[in-house]
Amino acid sequence: MLVVTGAAALLAFQRGAPWGATRSEERIYATVVTVVAGGWLTAATALGPGQRPLQILLLVATVAGGIPWWAHRRRRARVRVDRTIQAWPDMAEQIGLAGSRVLSAVVDVWGWRARMTLRAGQTVADVVAHVPAIESGLGTRPGAVRVEPDPAHAGRFVMRVLAGDPHANAVPWPGPAAGSVIDPIRLGVFEDATDVRVPMLRRHVLIGGIAGAGKSGILNVIIGNLVACTDVVLWGIDLKGGMELRPWAPCLARLATTPAEAAAMLRDAVQVLEARARAMGDSSARLWLPTERTPALVIVVDEYAELADHAPAAVESADSVVLRGRAVAVTLLAATQRPTQQAMGKGAVRSQMDVRVCLRVRERRDTDLILGQGMFAAGWHAHTLDAPGKFLVSAEGFHQPRRARAYLVTDDNVRACAERYAFERPDLDQPSADALETSADDVLDPGLLPGTAPEDTLWAALADAPDQGLSVPQLMQLTGMRRTWIYDRLQAHATADRVAQVSRGRWRAANV
């Protein structure tokens, strides 16, 4: 072992191998590290690595050897940045940004960033258009340069150069962080490791991106936070048979999986917002304040474009929700792979979206379809996002194209979260519930149900209920009985294992 160590140390001192050291101080450092490591391995082989003096020696050597290495790496990085600053005037001339200057630069953990100033007449839009040329001039990998406008000066910007991809690996979801719909939701992390905190109260949300870009992951992060809030009721629409939203069914007050159910749900949402508007008018209130007794209502729609294809009437109701729902805390969360004018209801829905999350898109023009006209020219290049879960977000407080990566929510996370919060979900406020009782849609024709007694009608309705079950307002309309009577009978049937709660507020006969 000593012979091998000596030979390795000699090689490191004379040639810098295998560390790639080219300078004398680097070779000396490599030689010392090789000798110390070889000596420790020799002692560990002879005495055993569990000996306390060897463990202490290893810790001391690691710290003492790591500090010079870290300081040297930082110093070398600073030297490279200084050389870039010196070469910038010539480089700027070649790439079409003549007259721009570097004001200051600092090295950080991911690379370096510089404060830049432009020649009079130049704008940040000119810099954005030259980003590929800047990457070529700096000799970086494609996608390594970030340009952020200076909000205080139109002729200045911050340029970040990333040595590596901070989002190369998925970021595990830490669990729900919101306790109220008033709290911002943490969607993921930016490249500087700060949280992406997006407000949801009185905000309509649009999530867009091609298949496989991570749309479902963003939905799961948002729903996972909202189910932990005791002042929000969740309704879901999933026209893919419930494939995406059904795992959350225990926490959803309603789940629509067919065009007819989706149309009925959105009509009911309009009834809710109108009932709340009347209640606010009576009390002279201007905003609906979410509490456990008066919760907000969020309608989650997976693949919104399917509504335009299969349920045009539902789109009209959705238009009404996004146009009138903010003040009464009735909002829409729409996810889609096709955010076109036609799919989004002649643009009315999309134009009212306060929060827009853009994952990877196929074509450059799709960036403007999701984030808004002119966003691509302003540097929001969603077509360059190169991994599922990477996204750009446009919302209050997010006016610059900063890349982020959404948290990774696993199936186990969804299952555990749904089970944890299923029995803590609030009910709709009384004005909204009363409005739905008087306007509930008939799913079954009472005239076709056998028996005339309310008990018989209730059981026949439960036995013939669809897979998604029947709601309490629907059972009230079919039987002509009050809510308390329905709940008493359902509880008795459930105790005897004759009925099952398919999802929150929806029931059907068990084992039918």
Higher pLDDT, 8 or 436: 436
C-alpha to C-alpha distance for 109 and 265, rounded to whole angstroms: 50
Q: What is the pLDDT of residue 25?
A: 54
C-alpha to C-alpha distance for 361 and 211, rounded to whole angstroms: 9
Q: What is the pLDDT of residue 275?
A: 93
Q: What is the pLDDT of residue 19?
A: 44
Q: What is the pLDDT of residue 455?
A: 85
Indicate the SS3 state at residue 435: helix
% of the chain surpassing 70 pLDDT:
79
Contact predicate 368/374, CB 8 Å: yes
**Res. 173: pLDDT tops 90:** yes
Task: Of 333, 332, 331, 335, give the one whose Cα is nearest residue 303.
Answer: 335
E strands, 191-318, in order = 195-198, 205-208, 232-238, 254-256, 296-302
E strands, 303-424, in order = 330-336, 355-358, 390-394, 404-408
Six token digits for residue 152? 């205080």
Assign 344 a pLDDT band (cuts: 50, 70, 90).
low
- Strands 195-198, 185-190: pairing is antiparallel
Task: Of 444, 434, 228, 235, give the one whose Cα is nearest residue 321.
Answer: 235
Distances, alpha carbon 97 to alpha carbons 67, 84, 341, in Å = 39, 15, 37
Q: Work out the average pLDDT over 194-202.
A: 92
Give the angle 223-228-230 at the CA atoms, nearest 5°: 115
**Res. 362: pLDDT tops 80:** yes
Task: Of 66, 61, 63, 19, give the one whose Cα is nearest residue 44.
Answer: 61
Angle separating helix axes 472-479 and 483-495, nearest 10 degrees: 110
Contact predicate 65/34, CB 8 Å: no
Residues 6+ apart with CB under 8 A from 179: 228, 229, 230
Signed CA dihedral, 310, 313, 316, 322: sign only: negative
Q: What is the pLDDT of residue 206?
A: 93
Task: Of 354, 259, 253, give the one whose Cα is nearest residue 303.
Answer: 259
Number of C-alpha atoms within 13 angstroms, CB side, residue 132? 3
Indicate the SS3 state at residue 103: strand
pLDDT by residue (tens digit) across 300-341? Answer: 999 888 887 787 778 888 888 999 999 999 999 999 887 666
Task: Of 89, 81, 73, 156, give the one whose Cα is nearest residue 122.
Answer: 156
- Check whether the bond before 339 is cis (ω within 30° of 0): no
Assign 443 a pLDDT band (cuts: 50, 70, 90).
very low
**Res. 18: pLDDT tops 90:** no
**Res. 226: pLDDT tops 90:** yes
For 160, the enclosing helix (H) or strand (E) is strand 153-162
Q: Looking at this protein, which amino acid is placed at residue 26?
A: E
Partnered with residue 410 across adjacent β-strands are none
C-alpha to C-alpha distance for 419 and 279, rounded to whole angstroms: 34
Distances, alpha carbon 504 to alpha carbons 64, 251, 264, 294, 460, in Å = 60, 6, 17, 17, 21
Six token digits for residue 410? 């696993």
Question: pTM for this one?
Answer: 0.71
Q: What is the 3-state secondary structure (H, E, C) of 113-124?
A: EEEEECCCCCCH
**Res. 477: pLDDT tops 90:** no
> Is 459 buried (19+), middle (13-18) or exposed (0-12) by CB count in 10 A?
buried
For the sheet with 111-117, list strands across it.
101-108, 111-117, 153-162, 145-150
Six token digits for residue 47? 């005495």
